[in-house]
Amino acid sequence: MKMVVASALIFLAACNSAPSNPVAKTEVPLPQTLEEAVNSEFRTTDFKLRDQYRHPLDTLSFFGLKPDMTVVEITPGNGWYLQILAPLLAKNGHYIAASAKNAHGNEDMTAWLKKYPEVAATVTHSNFNPPDSAHIAPDGTADMVLTFRNVHNWMSKRGEKEAFVAFFKALKPGGILGLVEHRADPHKKSNSDSGYVKESEVIKLATKAGFKLVNKSEINANPNDTKDYPEGVWTLPPVNKHPASENAKYLAIGESDRMTLKFVKPAN
């Protein structure tokens, strides 16, 4: 996932707790439950089509997401998960998008935020660009940190240690780190430039930062993914870096095989 940020996001450096969010009325009702958020009209049709690969309801349920949480999403990209999280958290929670401050705004995300200003007004931004900057929220204020398919980016920049330390600092004791990443073959040498990372390496990074592994899930597993493509994970949908003549082949494979890991910041 490219590290991008919408210029419409508002930076709130001093948020010590989830803000009280006065939300204006909208023609699209704010979701009250996670299931409503996944099925809501806030989401674009193209994004919903990818639920078969990303399983957002099962994934976020596995992590234990609640509507009143302060949640930091790391590098939200074009806003695929933002469209679920921001409306759900708009009334009683707090959504923070952590992205590189100097990244170009993503047009899709910016357009979506402009379309729903009552939700956009509740979204804040923090600067996350490890190893240079990795402060995502005031220490001990987040209930949950979520990151989807990003670890390989930090590893390529040698900022993975700083990233996990930042997550640990931002979370409250007992807070959850929910992580999804392209899963490398455990029997082959790891190469983050391919987009795939070994599950054991991710667990080691999180544990070294102070986290405890709570559980792992095969929600986002894909046994059809052979992980040996010329353009790495980007050969597969949705990037599809392959000749058009091979579209059917890679569509049959689907999106990548992914680990889904749940960590906790110990209370003591």
Query: Residues 61-76: what's their mean pLDDT?
Result: 97
The b-or-e profile of 182-214 (16+ CB within 10 A means b, else e) is bbbeeeeebebebbbbbbebbbebbeebebeee
Residue 103 has pLDDT above 60, yes or no: no
User: Tell me, what's the pLDDT at 192?
Assistant: 83
Query: Residues 24-47: what's their mean pLDDT?
Result: 89
User: Tell me, what's the pLDDT at 191?
Assistant: 81
* Cβ atoms of 99 and 135 closer than 8 Å: no
Structure tokens at 139: 């220490």
Confidence band for 26, pLDDT divided at 50, 70 and 90: low
CATH of the domain at 213: 3.40.50.150
pLDDT per position as a tens digit, 190-207: 788 899 999 999 999 999
User: Tell me, what's the pLDDT at 12?
Assistant: 38
Confidence band for 27, pLDDT divided at 50, 70 and 90: confident
User: Tell me, what's the pLDDT at 24?
Assistant: 46
Task: Give residue 92's domain range.
Answer: 29-226+258-264
Number of domains comprising the chain: 1
The answer to the question of residue 191 being in a domain is: yes
The answer to the question of residue 170 being in a domain is: yes
Burial class (CB in 10 A: 0-12, 13-18, 19+), 179: buried
The residue type of 114 is: K
User: Tell me, what's the pLDDT at 110?
Assistant: 84
pLDDT per position as a tens digit, 214-233: 999 999 999 999 999 999 99
The answer to the question of residue 23 being in a domain is: no
The answer to the question of residue 238 being in a domain is: no
The answer to the question of residue 21 being in a domain is: no
Query: Residues 102-106: what's their mean pLDDT?
Result: 54
pLDDT per position as a tens digit, 71-88: 999 999 889 999 999 999
The answer to the question of residue 246 being in a domain is: no
pLDDT per position as a tens digit, 143-173: 999 999 999 999 999 999 999 999 999 999 9
The answer to the question of residue 243 being in a domain is: no
Report the C-alpha gap between 63 and 240 in whole angstroms: 29
The answer to the question of residue 249 being in a domain is: no
pTM: 0.89
Query: Residues 15-38: what's their mean pLDDT?
Result: 71
